[in-house]
Amino acid sequence: MLATAEEVGRRAARVVLEELEAGRLAALGVATGSSPARVYEELAAAGARWEGVEVFALDEYVGLPPGHPESYAAVVDRQVRAPLGLDPRRVHVPDGGAADLDAAGAAYERALAERGGVDVQLLGIGATGHIGFNEPGSSFTSRTRVVELADRTVADNARFFDRPEDVPRRALTQGVATIGTARRHVLLAQGAAKAGAVRAALEGEVSTDCPASALRTFDDVLVLLDPAAASLL
């Protein structure tokens, strides 16, 4: 646990920068949502050299109009690609607009595998215990695929959209097993709304009822919490 939400972001950024400086960051896995926003600000402020680093997003909504500002492709472009000055060809987001979503999932798995998987995966956690968009019930052997979002997730993400009915109900997400292939994992959670999910993930049963509990089966996991997110531990 760290003293503040800001400290959580700074600490996560330090992990990424240490890997980069050591020449061990060929691919960075990025999460969207509010949890990692501070990390990206810190990474941009560090003035590091990102040439050659590939970036892979966890997930993308299905059914948004192309170029929608809340599509994860647009969010990653705004929060990660532009501030870090990355070549757009090195930034990968699942194609939630593909006509054949199964093929798009398989293509994303291939792109990840071709680059040897990601070195550091940043993760947030949903109030449902989701990682990426793997909602409760997601198999620990799941790979990139189309999923239905939980009602709670749709409600939580409505804050990013003009009208609640605009929130997509499906997504294309890396599976739990896909996320598990990362060499290092850094989960960030801030705020009391995450406290229940954090407790279920870290102290509950390791079970598909809480997809984030799969972290306890992954290699090299760092969990960074502010006091509110850690308050039920």
Q: Using CB under 6 A, which of 9, 35, 177, 223 touches ligand GLP?
A: 35
- Is 58 one of the binding residues for ligand GLP (CB under 6 A)? yes
* Span of 26-34, 75-83, 178-186, 225-233 interacting with ligand GLP by CB under 6 A: 26-34
Residue 200 parent element (H or E): helix 195-203
Amino acid letter for position 125:
I
The residues in 94-113 that bind ligand GLP, with binding defined as CB under 6 A, are: none
Our CB check for ligand GLP shows the closer of 138 and 153 to be 153
Q: Compute the least distance from the CB of residue 131 to ligand GLP, in Å.
A: 7
The C-alpha angle 219, 105, 41, rounded to 5 degrees, equals: 60
Our CB check for ligand GLP shows the closer of 53 and 147 to be 147
* Span of 15-23, 31-39, 74-82, 174-182 interacting with ligand GLP by CB under 6 A: 31-39
Q: Using CB under 6 A, which of 20, 28, 32, 214 touches ligand GLP?
A: 32
In sequence order, what are the residues at sequence separation of 6 or more whose Cβ sits closer than 8 angstroms to the Cβ of residue 158?
A: 164, 167
Q: Using CB under 6 A, which of 9, 96, 105, 124 touches ligand GLP?
A: 124
Residue 20 CA to residue 14 CA, distance in Å, equals 10
At how many degrees (to 10) do helices 5-21 and 37-45 cross? 50
DSSP line for 103-172: HHHHHHHHHHHHTTS-SEEEE---TTS-BTTB-TT--TT--SEEEEPPHHHHHHHGGGSSSGGGS-SEEE
Our CB check for ligand GLP shows the closer of 4 and 49 to be 4
The residues in 126-145 that bind ligand GLP, with binding defined as CB under 6 A, are: 126, 132-133
Residue 233 CA to residue 228 CA, distance in Å, equals 10
Beta carbons of 190 and 8 less than 8 angstroms apart: yes
Tokens of 150: 């939980």
> What x/- string results for residues 138 through 177 when contact with ligand GLP is judged by CB under 6 A?
---------------x---x--------------------
* Span of 9-17, 80-88, 124-132, 196-204 interacting with ligand GLP by CB under 6 A: 124-132
Judged by CB under 6 A, how many residues of this single chain contact ligand GLP? 13
Q: Compute the least distance from the CB of residue 12 to ligand GLP, in Å.
A: 12
Q: Compute the least distance from the CB of residue 47 to ligand GLP, in Å.
A: 26
Residue 81 CA to residue 93 CA, distance in Å, equals 12
Interacting residues toward ligand GLP by CB under 6 A: 31-35, 58-59, 124, 126, 132-133, 153, 157
